[in-house]
Homo-oligomer: A and B are copies of this chain.
């Protein structure tokens, strides 16, 4: 039996970290190929053991692949989806790791053939440094990983991506793409811009040379996001401008409230900070539960899916897509895609009926 192939397009911090995870499996029955516009980055990823093979084009990467992972800035995903659409075979599962989801989902709908299954994704993980050199196998451990499956994605495809995510130690969170973008603006994109503004405030000061001597871990933490990839930031703004403008305004309102407390007196500052501290400590000590997941899948089923990905679920899906029609253990599914499953030759899974 020929080996299955996973393609990673974009071998920066995220793509290379995914590659390290995929390559670390002892029982793997797939090869990992990678491509990057910057071939040096792809070669570095290969050197670090994140790829079996480095290739020079989208075509080479996706032609034999059953699972394609786009780990590029948002606008890069647009180009690659257009390009890859010409080479992908029916049944291929495509996922991405882009910072915004609504536009990406629109492009997938627009460019991909109907039998190619797109499942959007966004790992809420990262670090100060970027590039393949910064990749680590545990980057996604305990991270939330937003999932936005295309309405026409086969449920088996969704399970493959969920299995991939869980096998890296992350927690999938099913979410509507528009909702994702609104929340990501508040929790990620506006913080990035705040980080930039704070660093510029200090850096643009005539006193920077002296002032920077005092900078401690607080300043470093708060400006960390300002070291992110500018192209990624540009693409985020380009595809989520309205939400970002909205949350920036909300942030300025809150800052005005804080500034007013500072001007008014000492106790108002203490009261404001005491209630904020309480709320934040609650948030840190009792992190929000992944309620949506629990609604969709019982924990035992999730375990099974993780196992399926590692143990062969992905291969079976690939076999289906190659029209070998040898069936296999199918994930739980709904009536709506029963016909599709029949077409692909997937038998009902008895113990889940």
Q: Which residues of A contact B (CB under 8 A)?
A: 124-128, 143-144, 146, 173, 175, 179-180, 182-184, 186-188, 190-205, 207, 209-231, 233-235, 237-238, 241, 244-245, 247-248, 250-255, 257-259, 262-263, 266-267, 269-274, 276-277, 279-281, 283-284, 288, 290-292
Alpha-carbon separation in the docked complex, A242 to B156 (Å): 61
Name the CB-closest residue of B to A253: B201
Asked if B191 and A219 sit within 8 Å, CB to CB, the answer is yes
Q: How far is the CA of A342 from the CA of B289 in the complex (A)?
A: 69
Is A223 a contact partner of B192 (Cβ separation < 8 A)? no
A236 to chain B, nearest CB (A): 9
A254 touches which of B198, B213, B251 (Cβ 8 Å)? B198
State A232–B127 Cα separation when bound (angstroms).
29
6 A-B residue contacts at CB 8 Å? A188-B214, A191-B218, A218-B225, A226-B280, A238-B266, A248-B262
Collect the chain B residues with CB atoms within 8 Å of residue A270's CB: 230-231, 233-234
Closest to A143 in B: B216
A193 cross-chain contacts in B, Cβ below 8 A = 255, 258-259, 262
B288 pairs with A266, CB closer than 8 A: no
A188 to B209 alpha-carbon distance, docked (Å): 16
A202 CB contacts on chain B under 8 angstroms = 186-187
Which residues of B sit under 8 angstroms from A255, Cβ to Cβ?
Answer: 193-194, 197, 248, 251-252, 255
Shortest Cβ distance from residue A69 to the other chain B in the assembled complex, whole angstroms:
19
Query: Which of A187, A194, A195, A203 has its CB near the most chain B CB atoms (within 10 A)?
Result: A187
Rounded to whole Å, the gap between the CB of A292 and the closest CB of chain B is 8
Contact of A180 among B214, B231, B262 (CB under 8 A): B214
Other A-B contacts than A187-B214, A209-B288, 8 sampled, CB-CB below 8 A, are A126-B216, A175-B213, A196-B276, A199-B280, A201-B251, A220-B284, A241-B263, A244-B262
